[in-house]
Structures are given as structure tokens and as C-alpha cells.
Structure 1
Amino acid sequence: MSEDGIKEIEENTEKVNLESEMANDEEVDEENDDITIPELPEGKILELRLLSNWGDPNYIGLNSVEIFTSTGERAVVENITTNVTEYTGNLESLLVERIRCKDTEKMWCAKKSPENLDGQIILRLKFKESCKLALVRFWNYNASRVHAQIGVRYLEMNLDGIGIFRGELECAFSADSEFTPIMGETVLFTTSESILELIAVHDVCLINLPEEPIANTTTLELLKADHLTPYRPSTCEEKDTPNTPTISLPAPKFPAALSCPPTGYRHDVKVLHLELLTNWGMDGLIGLTGMELVDDRNQLIDESQFTVVTSDGNKEQTAKLFNGRNLTRDPQDMWLVDFDSKKPVTITITFHEIVALKAISIWNYNASFEMSYAGVKASKIYVNGKLFKNIVFRKATGFVYFDYVQDIVLDPNMTENEHSSSKSGSSPLGETSSTLDSMESNLAAFPESVNILPNIKNDLRTSNNLITPPNDTDIAKHMWLTALLPNRCARVFFVFDVQTYISKIVIYNY
């Protein structure tokens, strides 16, 4: 080959490499071009760019979009257009208050085509007049569990050509599912309480939707004496439970005559004092979701029998500690105060009469994964003015797949939860290489089993099989089987009330 030919090849190679580097730089710049959510952005044309879905190869779609302005009212949309030519449903149906609809004709989805395979499916909403956006809520496509994958995953919003949001929407589930999101996916452009109160007046979610009670699938006969909180939701189903209608009950108040016999140990308490020393890393805040006090008969001590004072002096905040709403992610139901590591936050509980206190049940701060770092970590517990013990509180998870309660037992002779667990099963080994004993209170699975599916009842392959022998078996009733939900992984949690050493976990697959 001539020198001119070699030189031409080298020049072409250098050109290709340069173009490749420029393309990569542009891609990085685009990824790093973060959008800061503005306060009450104002404009007339809202552009929604649907960048990707949850896995469907052919379609992408939405159920509906709700838009509220700074006046609290819904924005008046003059017209809505799209750049795609092939779609099902009516574009105007996106603006109808039909948030729990499963009819595909009343939702909207576009077919991906060679022209928009890059994800540039655009919806343009033109308002009747320029307005300030306060809240936008998306209800994702949810015709069925399978078709939920059509729903939008990554989305970008531009108002009059200026980016105001880029992020991920949750995958929706069928509207008759227990996993249906209650409030859709909300993007807030304000934190003004006055504006949010105005929105609440016009918000169909808060006006028309009935409250969905938490199902209580246990009965009083199934309560075990060693469960500290009598009405705590079970994280494992009983195998032989007959078909019974689902009921919703308030926390039962048991008279003394029906209580369990007192345990051998009792701790007579007049004043219970907690010093909260550190949190899990959040700067300037510390909090709890809730507390419960349990007597020597394993019964809850009613809040009428004591008074609570916290160092911040806010009685309204303090009341949230004992409001009974502990399995929640709603920050309005949680106790959160300012925190300075040099000055511990205190909670003082004074009983009107001396009580036999057996245990304290704690739910750590759980508003979200990020805010769970505001939960209490290190604490000192004083009983009648004397230091009882130093406690490390377990960090909350940021979700409510299981009851994340932590029981602090006051009996010094009682081993606090030295438990871990046993796909037909699992067997964790402790620090001394002996198998840790496990109880159902240490285990939580989500989804719990195939019994969550509409047409399956009393399947024996429930999660408690994970910790009960035999493990090395081919008999299905001794195994665990659960449903695999769209875009979700099955989870198994082993939860301890004290720090526990685990050296090895042995897993027996299905």
C-alpha cells in the first residue's frame, strides 16, 4: 500500500475517533444536565417528553394527568397534541378525572415507531392562559399487571421551553390490586401550606376516594402470648387458617380480666426517660414514627395512664408518638424535631400510678428512604431516674413491606431476639457457628406468598416455611412460593431487635 493510502487511513481513523469522543461528551453533558425543580414555574405550554416505559417493547402510555395551579384550582387546558400518529384512546382522556380506570379505551398509549424509537414521544398541553404550576400528578398506565409495563418510566417536563422536571415514575399495578398507589406520582412545585390547602379543596383524591382500611387477617385466637403488641399485623400467614371475610378493627383494648397471666418478671415504673443521643446521619433532625408501652400481661398501656413531655415542648408533635399510626410513611403521623448532637433530645413519660412495665415498642422514623436517616440510632433509657441500658435503635427501611417495630424488653434475664432465619428454606449461623433459632417475628417476606393473588386461597407454601424444618426436602408444602410482580423483586427480611452476628447463610432453593 502506498504512503498516501496509509496516510488517508490514519486521517480517517483519527476523524472517527474524534467524532466518537464528541458524541460521548455530548451524551455525558446531557446526562449531567440536571434540572432543578423551580418554585411555581409560570408559562402557557407544558411539554411532556415520555422518554421510556417499564419494559413493553411496542407501546408507552399514561392513564391521566392532573395539573393544579397556585390558586389551588385545576389548570384549564385549551388543547392537547402529540407528535405520534398511531395511538389508542383519546388524548383528552388524559385530562379526565378517571384515576382508577382500567378500561384501555379510556387511557392513552402510543405505539412506538421507527420515527420515535429514541423515546421522543411528546405531549403538548396548551393552557387557556398563562398560569403558575403548583402540582402535577401522573397516574400511570394500569390496565392489568402485565400491561402496567406500558406505563411511563422516565419523563421530562418543559414549560415554555424551560426544563422544570426530569425523573422516574413508579410502575402502576392493576387498580383492583392491594399495591395500587393511593395518590399517583406527584411532582410538587411549591411547599407553601396555604397553596397546598387550596389544592386540597379541589383535589378529587382527597374528596371522592374512600379510605382504604388496612386489612387485619388475624383473629384474637391466633395471638401468641409472647407477642408484645397483641394486634401487630402478622408477616407470615397461618397454614390452616380457614376462609374468613377480611375485617378491619381498631386496636383492641383488653380488660384486665381477659389479659394473659403476668410473666415472672416485672419492672415497677413511675418515670420512663429516654435520651436520644444520635441519629442515623441526617443533619439537624431526629424523630420517631411511634411508640407503645407493654405491661407484664402483654397488654398495651393506654395513653390515659401517663403523660409525655419532650424537650422541644411541642405538645402537638409529642401526641404523634402515641397516635397508633405506626405502619406508615406519612410524615404527618410522625414525630420529628430539631437535633443538635451536643444537646440530646429527651422524651419523659410519667405514669399516674406505678405500672409493671415489660417492654417498649419503637417504630423508627420512616417517611422515606432518605428521611429514615433522621431516625434515632443511639439512646439511653432511664427507669425511675436510674440508667437502665444503652440501646441502638434499628434504622427504618423507608417502606412498609413489613412491620418494622423494635421491641425493647426490660427483663434483664430475657435474651432479646437472638434470632435469625431458616427457598425451600434458609439457615443462618451465628458467631459460634451454631444455627440461630428463628421465630415468625424475625421473618418478613414481600410478597408474603402466592396467596396474595386473587384466585389463590390457603396455599401452604407460605413464608414461615423458610424458618421451619425440613429444609432439604422435595415436598412442596414445606417450601415457600410467592408471586413475582411486574418490575419488582421478591424480598425476604430477617429482622432483629439487637445487634446479631451472622457468619453464614445456607439457602435451600425451591
Structure 2
Amino acid sequence: VVIPTLPRGRTLIFNCVSTWGDKDFVGLAGIEIFDGRGFPVVLKDRNRQVTADPHSINVLDEYDHDPRTPEKLFDQVNLTRDDLHVWLAPFFNGRVHTVTVDLDCQTEISMIRVWNYNKSRLHSSRGVRDLEILLDGSPIFIGEVRRAPGVLTKPEEACELILFTQDESVLEAVAEHDWLPAHLPFDSDEELQEEAPEERNSDALGGRPPTADCASAGHGISPRGQVTPRLSDGRPMTRALERQRGRGIVCSTVTLLVNSTWGDQFYVGLTALEVLDGNLAPMVRDEVKLDAYPRDLNDLEGVEGDVRTLPNLFDGVCCTMDDQHMWLAPFLKAEAAEAAGNISDRNYLRILFDTDREVAGFNIWNYNKNPEDTCRGVREFSVYCDDRFIATFLCRKAPGHVHFDFKQVVLLDQPPSDLARRAPPRLPSRSASRSRSKGMGRIQTLAEFSGFSGGAMRIARQVAVDRQADRKGVEYFVLLM
């Protein structure tokens, strides 16, 4: 779905397609909507204007008067771990789970910010993963919402921001009326403490684990007809602690095999990349070596001095539109290589360590030079650890601006379910040496690379010469620079 510009309508439907792993419950912490002028949309009657299906966990026989109801999504308390300010409902696989918002009048929308379920590191698995947003029945967003961290000290990781405009005046108005920058929380000991192990009893719920009784938060409200101990909130903690402490994969090399771009047929690139260790902390750049095939545009015959080189991925400049801090390389189509039986002609990034390291995932900033060139960004890529296939992931398209941090966290133990089921692509052999002089193989000339006819090639070269004169040699190719 192409995200529209300032869509206009009255009824918003948020369809929660999947969760971040919880099979029994789905929830959100908040939703913010900004209108076409950049002002926040305030609902006058939340109880009437916000509905959900299922309504909340109160639809279960075992619960009554649980505070986690849908109108709480618009109570303007979004960065929270408090049960009194979130929505939680049963999750039934294969059923629709929706939150419907009646705006009461036709409204232009410039931005939506979705705050995911953030009660704890464990229970953030109840948050929405795949989300569809419809405005008057037409889809305006289909994509993945980032998992909340379960703490209050990382607000940028607890929400997903969706922009529907790039108008500077509207964005300035949004920034002026946005509460978040001025209310960033301080660190607290509470967030740094591990949640205590808890005992659960799911027999009374027919296999569905009990959710939080608000007595644990000091509110004195508990599920009807059930005595629940303090801190009772979901699944057994033992399994979650094992997962958190051992979520990385130990290996000496990690290969990212590029399967597709966001539409560009000739180039593929990224803005920045960070490798996450077993504690989800970025590795120090000196501990990581990086290789790629093709390495960059300088592998093309006749190209020298292009600044979009591989080391830029680790230069620490991540949220930018300056392509001097990006990596760009010729794109070798996966389908063409497979059809020709030459799987060695595939784009890949290879990360090497001096010793075995535990790798949990990546922070990725996709190619973000401008809105038009975001189509060069990586779309699908497959990950191999020591040549062992792990999963195929979907990389979000960059926005083409820097009004918000477009970082995507990719965790190796949380692949998209639809991509993970596909047959793994074959990994090019590491035995073949890829020197810069010989690395491009059959891609030796611009004409061969671009596939232009002779006449088109002459026009392309002339435009390229003109552009080199205008840009002092920074831009080399036609159509795509």
C-alpha cells in the first residue's frame, strides 16, 4: 500500500493482525492522531467514539470491570506501563481484532503515532506486530509496528510513527504541538530491575493464562471470582528469562543476502547498520569487519571516487539524507542469477568477527537520500550465520526525510511469519575471491550494467556528462542519480 498524502475521512479502523509472540492476548498503550494542520485530534467523547472488537478482556467469563478498555487508547497517557491507561483484549488466531475510531467529522490526517503494549519486557509480546489502518474503508497503512521495550526510558522504541505528509509547515506545526520531546523521562531504578519470577495458574481460563490483576499495581481490582497473587500477569517468567539471556546466535560470520529492493532495478543501498550482541547492545565498530559484493559503485568499470562506500555503514551517522554517509552498490537481480544458475552473482553484506560472537540482530537505517531514491533501499534480505540459514526479513522503506528516526530493529529470533516459511535462498560460496579488479565479473561496462540500447546509451552518457559538469563529478549515472 502506498501511504497517501493527507488522507481525509471520518472513520479509522486499526486491524491488529498479529502480535509479537503472545498467542492469547493483544494490546496497545495509546494512539495519537494529528490533523492536516498539525494539531492533535482530541476526542470529545472517548467512550462513544472508540470501540473495539473484541472489546477487552472483559468479554471473558473470568473477568469483569478490568480497566484495560479501548477508550484508554485516547486518554493522552501513552508512554506508560500502567494498566489503567492501556487496552488489552483476547487474541483469537484467524479472527479480526479491530479498534474503531469515529472522528465525528471529515478530517485530514497528517500523522498517526501508535504506542505498543509496554507493561514489561515479557509482556510486550502482547503488542501488535502487523497492523492495518483503514480510513473510511480504504487502507492507508499496512506494515509492522515495532515491539515496545517494556521500559519507560526508551520512548522512541515504544511507538511507531506514520507520516502522511512532507509539507514543512505542517510538520513544523506537528512538532510544535507534540508533547513527547519536552517530556522525555529520566532513568529510574524501577525500569532497570528485572521482573520477579511469577507463578501462574491458567486452568481456570481453559488454557488461557491470566492477565494482570490490578491489585498488583495497587488498584485493588482483580478478576471476578479469582484470587490472584501479586505480580500475576501472563505467562511463566522462567521461559521468558531463558529467552532473554540466550536470544543471540553464536557465530564468526553473518551474511545478509539481498533478495530485492523497493523498486530500483539497478542500485541497492543502505544508510547505516549496527550489529546487536546478545544483550541487544550495538557492537563496537572496531570489533566488526565488513565485506560486500559488489562492494560499491567503484566496482563498475570507469567509476572512481564515488563516496558512497561500504565503510559509511559504520561511520556513526545514521539518521541522515547526506549520501556521503551512505552505501550504494550495483544491484544484481536475484531472479536473473537463479535463472542463469549462477548464484555467485548475488548482492550480499558479510560481517566478520575475529572470534565467535553472540549476534541477536541489527539496527538498520535504509537508503534515505531523498523520497525518490528510497526505492534503492533493501526490501527483503536473508540472514545466514556461519552459512546456516536463519530467516528472511522485510526491511522497511526509508521515508526520504529526517523528521523522525527511521531506524528498524531486526531481531534474528523474530522473523516475519510469512517470509520465514519460504524456502531459503542459496548462499554464494565464500571460496571465490572477490577482489575489486575482478569482483564484478560480467558487469564490466555501464552499458552492460544498465541494459540500455545503443541510442539510449548515447543519450545516457550525454546526460551523465552534463550532470558531472553540474555536480563536479559526484553523480555518475543517468536516471538513478
Shorter-chain TM-score: what band? 0.3 to 0.5
What's the TM-score, normalizing by structure 1?
Answer: 0.39
What's the TM-score, normalizing by structure 2?
Answer: 0.41
Question: Which structure has the bigger radius of gyration?
Answer: 1
